[in-house]
Structure 1
């Protein structure tokens, strides 16, 4: 039993997505969905405060597992990061690489991919953005699917409060001998602390070196991960030369807008991201 102030925290355990959604609407802003609980535990340790009501999703089996289909792969929101790290379907992907660099094994075995996304600052997010992931959610009327970046644009709106994330969809990736897929995390200690910078690249070139497809994403710390669309447009359809690379580097410094904190300045984060992205693509 846990107490919040002078009140006892109540835990609800629904058996379906629909029931969980209805409970959240009924209990209001004092209620919080929980799966692995690793983020909530960290918040409790820092503030000694928590929600009055926990809605545990642990009994909803439909929100677990990985299913490979013809045109892509579905990942249940309750799938742990350790499973994402080791699953044979996901092992070649940037998502698996990102999961390898998050926390310790004991944490990964509890933490879920859904929680890492809903957190808003999770280290899987740049990888998912570069892979053009979509999210599937329930909004009380039915199930919807939209691009992860579009879903994040609603983060600070009331609309997000009515959405229960149920799964993530990864479109099938085209891989060639000219493909570049890179995920990098820079932190004070690898895996065991919040990242300073995380970047991800998915790029395909033709045999002549022309960039046919490119997706770039960056985040880290308290910086909301985002696609670097202007940088993508600069390189798309080109065989980059020295001048293009110079402009690309300059554009990263302009488009990536991290925030400073006690561990690193915004300028430092920009430089790190620009150096990693340029190095990955110019190799």
Structure 2
């Protein structure tokens, strides 16, 4: 393990000790030793924004995570795709396995911040912040989080992302946990269903990318189901701004228009992402009809728990979430009907 100081000519308040642990266990031990005086640092893009904005103080100790080997890879296995916590947003937004098996996350990573930020910002940092725009996408893909946690007996453990978000909501989040990675089940996707490669889409595009990959599966009765998946973000300007609201949806639609395995989530800004279970129940097993989209928008607005700040009131965020969700369903099914 190495340590070093920041430049001597900086004011004392801005002279944190920077630790470079050799592995996650050592990082946990450092956090246990220095407690609230230490923070984890990977890409550092969110932390820097908070420090410069006066939202959080510069800590006495920074514990680097980017020195830990093996946390930048994206590994495709038989049943899962595992993304290392230090994989950058750019890396995630260009990876074919995520495009096929976690398409909402793939799209989210192409919309978060500006390209220069995505080059540095990590998926783990976005998730561990508990308010990152990627979180609704994780929730609709039934993701689990891989931790090394000094507060649990097993040290290494896997936790459903929904359960972790509930811990955060209840104020029971572990302060000694290092996020190692994020794991997604592949689900019933048929091999070879990916239609377009990520190279077909420019890195700096700001248009919606919901049609960039199509996946199918066939049930035991021989009926074919197509994945319906999207991510939507509303910001104060068209591009490169913090979100006001983000929504994600993933489900499967049959040739008859019936929906199943529905997952819906919303978040954005400084609010906590959440699954919209009532909306999921409304859609599960239902055949698509544009006439019920206003009902879906209204239900999402009522179910989504949001907050007010100088930029937007809670009712506006809630209504926007409902409108984004309904519009996303309509646009996605329109694309299917038009053969896109």
Same fold per TM (> 0.5)? yes
Distance 1:159 1:102, change over 3 A: closer
1:259 is paired with a residue of what secondary structure? coil
2:21 is paired with a residue of what secondary structure? coil
Runs of 5+ unmatched residues, structure 1: none
**Maintained 8 Å contact 1:35/1:57:** yes
Shift of the alpha carbon at 1:95? Answer: 1.2
CA distance in structure 1 between the aligned counterparts of 2:80 and 2:41, rounded to whole angstroms: 27
Q: Please, which moves more after superposition, 83-92 or 143-152?
A: 83-92
Aligned length: 283
2:87 is paired with a residue of what secondary structure? coil
Query: 2:128 — aligned with what?
Result: 118
CA distance in structure 1 between the aligned counterparts of 2:91 and 2:297, rounded to whole angstroms: 36
Q: Residue 172 of structure 1 is aligned with which of 186, 198, 204?
A: 186
Query: 1:16 — aligned with what?
Result: 23
**1:81-100 map, 5 Å:** 81-92=89-100, 93-100=103-110
Runs of 5+ unmatched residues, structure 2: 1-5, 190-214, 217-224, 334-340
Runs of 4+ in 1 over 6 A off after TM superposition: none
Distance 1:157 1:262, change over 3 A: closer
Q: Residue 218 of structure 1 is aligned with which of 244, 250, 266?
A: 266
Distance 1:207 1:6, change over 3 A: closer
Q: Residue 279 of structure 2 is aligned with which of 231, 243, 249?
A: 231
**Maintained 8 Å contact 2:297/2:319:** no
- Verify: 1:31 aligned to 2:38, yes or no: yes
Q: Residue 85 of structure 2 is aligned with which of 67, 71, 77?
A: 77
2:99 is paired with a residue of what secondary structure? coil
Q: Residue 145 of structure 1 is aligned with which of 145, 155, 158?
A: 158
User: For each residue in 1:54-97, what CA deviation from the matched residue of structure 2 results, as whole angstroms up to 9, or x when unmatched?
Assistant: 00012111222100011110000011111111122223411121
TM-score (norm 1): 0.93
Q: RMSD in angstroms over aligned alpha carbons?
A: 2.0
**Maintained 8 Å contact 1:101/1:190:** no
Q: Please, which moves more after superposition, 96-105 or 237-246?
A: 237-246
CA distance in structure 2 between the aligned counterparts of 1:146 and 1:46, rounded to whole angstroms: 32
Q: Please, which moves more after superposition, 121-130 or 41-50?
A: 41-50
Based on CA coordinates, which of the two structures has the bigger radius of gyration?
2
CA distance in structure 2 between the aligned counterparts of 1:273 and 1:228, rounded to whole angstroms: 11
**Maintained 8 Å contact 1:73/1:171:** yes
Shift of the alpha carbon at 1:161? Answer: 1.1
TM-score (norm 2): 0.78
